[in-house]
Amino acid sequence: MIVTPLIAPLCTVGAFNGQQVKTWRANDWASKVMALINGGNPAAAIAQIKVAPSVKDLKALQTIMTLSKMKGRYPNVDAAISDNLDLLAAPRLHRSP
């Protein structure tokens, strides 16, 4: 099974001096993964965590889980977050953008 990360597509923002300017939309990855968890699908959330775009996104998810008092409710999700934070922290394992 192939899992693709939840990444916002490239979109046109507007024109600058007659040229179209393209930029990435704000990535809402952590809230999308929290929606999976809140929807009762921790297996899909773990699959998304394994293909997390960056350490920053994983830390944001970890913070959201702590603030929403979801930490500890899904031990497999907590373990996946901490394991992948460790994996992505190693410089040779960073995913390219």
pLDDT tens-digit series, residues 33-82: 999 999 999 999 999 999 988 889 999 999 999 998 888 899 999 999 99
Domain residue spans of the chain: 28-93
Query: Using CA atoms, how far apart are residues 64 and 71, in angstroms rounded to an integer?
Result: 9
> Which of 31, 53, 41 has its CA nearest to residue 77?
41
Whether the model pTM is above 0.75: no
Tens digit of each residue's pLDDT (9 = 90 or more) over 43-52: 999 999 999 8
